[in-house]
């Protein structure tokens, strides 16, 4: 059967999904919302657009070309947001450097990424000075500072620092069209073994992720949580998975944005109070720090909606948030996934439940968003039923997944084994679609041929009011292979090994856990080791315990 082809007009415009569209979209509607830094500097969207143009023109005049890599070492700031746009909008690649890595890891990532330009806050200048002679590709260093004058340095930097470059540049720029599959961003994820691995995202992926992020957040419950009337502040660092993609979404929507600078709980809390922040996202440990800081005692948090991600939201922390009138949601994703995979989704029925029953939904890992195909696979790659019981590794397909690890073909193939991206997370999916993460594959405690979820144990232990924080890891055991060990932070002198075991006994009685899941081995500490992005560092805890044992 012959069929005429559908041909486009000669001059029809084939619209590529480019990051510049997120920014220009924000200018369609004029409003008074501002983009603010630390509560002291404020920019209208029109001014912000001009600053992005100026930065783009500055970078081009410094010789930055399509495909070049521009690294950023800064706190969460309007300047960082300018880099989010200006760098990819001229076809260059934004490398968001994690300054909390060890110096050796920073050297590794910057050489591996082949950074050409570094934009560095004076606060990170000592770090950069210490490693500069080991950086193989960096040609240009641009200083930014929160002070009137930039710091002295022995490094060769551009004659004009960031603000002066912008002051000298043209405030308009004609951003070119190019292939939407051009890489826009690059950053590194630290696994438990080996060197950091680079993940990368294209313009198309980031635009689609942004569109879906807004859709998902605005259908998470009956209200619109993310629109031009909201006040947004990131509490997940901008070097970490594009601050979960939220700054792109916030800018597209034209909301009021507060960039807090360096994270300091009292300062964050003051900003939340002063600017009546309505929407944020963070890892549990930061939330805990905010709730425990001095400023929080005289702060009314009501109206603050927070997506918790990065690691599991415990029932205890969720209840403490709700006590403070903070509405908790849980998001799930990872560096490799841009990151959004799933988010809390509440029906009016769920919202009408008593708080403790509502919390049971809120602390799960949410429901896969639109365009996220998710399955849970057993060790043989068989998809598991959505029965709330059958565990499997989460594997996904979406339009916004890193297509591999940069220059690591073998690890890339492992990541994408079988044509699905492997998250390394073990979960069950409930009949209503809710995902419940049971553990990282490598953190599952394998004891006597059975699996104990370290997260499940942490969740139960955290419900003890005396427990401020807890981590559970597997420790080697001659008889059983592994046994659980609980590391606990408490401020209550009566909290003991026995009291924690007694606390767990009730869950054995109710059938929630087996008797053999209760740890014999429990220790107390002032501080639980964290990774550079604030997650519990179980690798470190296992190492420490091994050192103590030997």
Number of residues that bind a second copy (CB under 8 A): 78
Q: Which stretch binds a second copy (CB under 8 A): 10-18, 46-54, 72-80, 509-517?
A: 10-18
For a second copy, the closer of residues 4 and 491 by Cβ is 4
Shortest Å distance, C-beta 116 to a second copy: 7
The Cα 150–Cα 379 span in angstroms is 55
Beta bridge mates, 464: none
7 binds a second copy (CB under 8 A): yes
The Cα 260–Cα 40 span in angstroms is 10
The Cα 241–Cα 244 span in angstroms is 5
Which two three-digit tokens encode residue 55? 């930065």
Q: The dihedral of CA 463, 467, 471, 476: what is its sign?
A: negative
Residue 282 near residue 313 (C-beta atoms within 8 A): no
Interface residue with a second copy, options 108, 371, 480, 516 (CB under 8 A): 371
Interface residue with a second copy, options 310, 404, 519, 534 (CB under 8 A): 404
Interface residue with a second copy, options 143, 212, 358, 490 (CB under 8 A): 212
In terms of Cα–Cα distance, which of 420, 416, 418 is closest to 408? Answer: 416
Residue 433 near residue 367 (C-beta atoms within 8 A): yes
Shortest Å distance, C-beta 522 to a second copy: 39
Interface residue with a second copy, options 39, 383, 399, 529 (CB under 8 A): 399
Shortest Å distance, C-beta 69 to a second copy: 8
- In the three-class reduction of DSSP (H, G, I as helix; E, B as strand; rest coil), residue 58 is classed as helix
In terms of Cα–Cα distance, which of 156, 163, 159 is closest to 135? Answer: 156
The Cα 57–Cα 64 span in angstroms is 10
The Cα 524–Cα 517 span in angstroms is 19
Site string for a second copy, 378-397 (x = CB under 8 A): -------------------x
Interface residue with a second copy, options 281, 406, 471, 517 (CB under 8 A): 406
174 binds a second copy (CB under 8 A): no
Interface residue with a second copy, options 145, 157, 171, 224 (CB under 8 A): 224
Q: Which of residues 175-204 bind a second copy (CB under 8 A)?
A: 183, 200
Interface residue with a second copy, options 161, 265, 333, 368 (CB under 8 A): 368
Interface residue with a second copy, options 29, 126, 274, 448 (CB under 8 A): 29
Q: Catalytic positions, please?
A: 189, 336, 446, 451
Q: Which of residues 109-138 bind a second copy (CB under 8 A)?
A: 114, 116
Judging by DSSP bridges, how do beta strands 435-440 and 421-429 pair with one another?
antiparallel
Q: Under 8 Å CB-to-CB from 434, ≥6 apart: which residues? A: 361, 364, 365, 366, 367
Shortest Å distance, C-beta 249 to a second copy: 9
Q: Which of residues 285-324 bind a second copy (CB under 8 A)?
A: none
In terms of Cα–Cα distance, which of 140, 135, 70, 68 is closest to 108? Answer: 135
Residue 317 near residue 288 (C-beta atoms within 8 A): yes
Site string for a second copy, 246-265 (x = CB under 8 A): ------xx------------
For a second copy, the closer of residues 351 and 546 by Cβ is 351
Phi, psi of 45 (to 5 degrees): -65, -35
69 binds a second copy (CB under 8 A): yes
Q: Which stretch binds a second copy (CB under 8 A): 60-68, 189-197, 355-363, 479-487?
A: 60-68
Shortest Å distance, C-beta 19 to a second copy: 12
Interface residue with a second copy, options 46, 156, 223, 506 (CB under 8 A): 223
Shortest Å distance, C-beta 138 to a second copy: 12
In terms of Cα–Cα distance, which of 61, 19, 252, 22 is closest to 166? Answer: 61
Interface residue with a second copy, options 433, 448, 465, 476 (CB under 8 A): 433
Q: Which of residues 230-249 bind a second copy (CB under 8 A)?
A: none
Shortest Å distance, C-beta 421 to a second copy: 8
Q: Which stretch binds a second copy (CB under 8 A): 65-73, 187-195, 308-316, 482-490?
A: 65-73
Interface residue with a second copy, options 302, 370, 382, 543 (CB under 8 A): 370
Q: Under 8 Å CB-to-CB from 502, ≥6 apart: which residues? A: none
Q: Which of residues 327-366 bind a second copy (CB under 8 A)?
A: 345, 347-348
Three-state SS letters, 273-322: HHHCCCEEEECHHHHHHHHHCHHHHHCCCCCCEEEECCCCCCHHHHHHHH
The Cα 131–Cα 266 span in angstroms is 32
For a second copy, the closer of residues 38 and 411 by Cβ is 411
């Amino acid at each position: 059967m012959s069929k005429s082809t559908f041909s486009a007009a000669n001059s029809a415009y084939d619209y590529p999904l480019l990051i510049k569209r997120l920014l220009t979209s924000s200018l369609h509607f004029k409003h008074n919302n501002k983009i603010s830094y630390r509560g002291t500097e404020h920019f209208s969207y029109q001014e912000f657009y001009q600053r992005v143009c100026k930065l783009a023109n500055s970078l081009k005049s410094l010789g930055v070309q399509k495909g070049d890599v521009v690294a950023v070492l800064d706190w969460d700031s309007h300047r960082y947001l300018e880099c989010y746009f200006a760098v990819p909008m001229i076809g260059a690649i934004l490398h968001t450097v994690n300054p909390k890595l060890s110096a050796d890891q920073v050297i590794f990532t910057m050489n591996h990424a082949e950074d050409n330009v570094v934009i560095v806050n004076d606060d990170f200048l000592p770090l950069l000075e210490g490693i500069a002679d080991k950086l193989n590709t960096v040609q240009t260093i641009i200083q930014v500072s929160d002070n009137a004058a930039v710091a002295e340095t022995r490094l060769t930097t551009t004659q004009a620092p960031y603000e002066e470059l912008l002051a000298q540049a043209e405030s308009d720029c004609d951003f070119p069209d190019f292939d939407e599959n051009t890489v826009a961003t690059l950053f590194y994820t630290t696994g438990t073994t080996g060197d950091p691995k680079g993940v990368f995202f294209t313009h198309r992926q980031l635009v689609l992720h942004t569109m879906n992020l807004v859709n998902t957040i605005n259908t998470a419950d009956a209200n619109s949580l993310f629109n031009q009337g909201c006040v947004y502040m990131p509490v997940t660092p901008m070097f970490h998975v594009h601050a979960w993609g939220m700054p792109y979404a916030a800018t597209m929507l034209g909301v009021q944005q507060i960039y807090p600078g360096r994270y300091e709980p009292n300062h964050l809390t003051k900003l939340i109070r002063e600017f009546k922040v309505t929407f944020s996202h963070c890892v549990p440990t930061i939330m805990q720090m905010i709730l425990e800081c001095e400023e929080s005692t005289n702060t009314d948090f009501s109206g603050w909606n927070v997506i918790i991600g990065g690691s599991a939201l415990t029932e205890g922390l969720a209840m403490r948030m709700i006590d403070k009138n903070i509405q908790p949601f849980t998001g799930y994703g990872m560096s490799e996934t841009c990151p959004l995979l799933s988010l809390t989704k509440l029906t009016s029925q769920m919202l009408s439940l008593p708080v403790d029953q509502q919390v049971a939904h809120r602390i799960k890992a949410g429901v896969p968003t639109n365009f996220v195909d998710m399955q849970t696979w057993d060790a043989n790659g068989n998809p598991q039923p959505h029965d709330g019981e059958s565990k499997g590794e989460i594997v996904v397909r979406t339009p916004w997944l890193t297509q591999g690890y940069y220059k690591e073909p073998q690890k890339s193939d492992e990541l994408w084994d079988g044509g699905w991206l492997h998250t390394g997370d073990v979960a069950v999916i409930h009949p209503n679609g809710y995902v419940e993460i049971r553990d990282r594959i490598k953190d599952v405690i394998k004891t006597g041929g059975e699996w104990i979820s370290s997260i499940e144990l942490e969740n139960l232990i955290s419900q003890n009011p005396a427990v401020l924080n807890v981590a559970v890891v597997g420790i080697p055991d001659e008889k059983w292979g592994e046994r659980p060990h609980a590391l606990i932070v408490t401020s209550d002198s009566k909290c003991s090994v026995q009291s924690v075991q007694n606390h767990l006994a009730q869950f054995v009685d109710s059938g929630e856990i087996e008797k053999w899941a209760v740890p014999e081995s429990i220790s107390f500490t002032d501080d639980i080791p964290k990774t550079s992005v604030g997650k519990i560092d179980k690798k470190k805890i296992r190492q420490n315990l091994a050192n103590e044992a030997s």
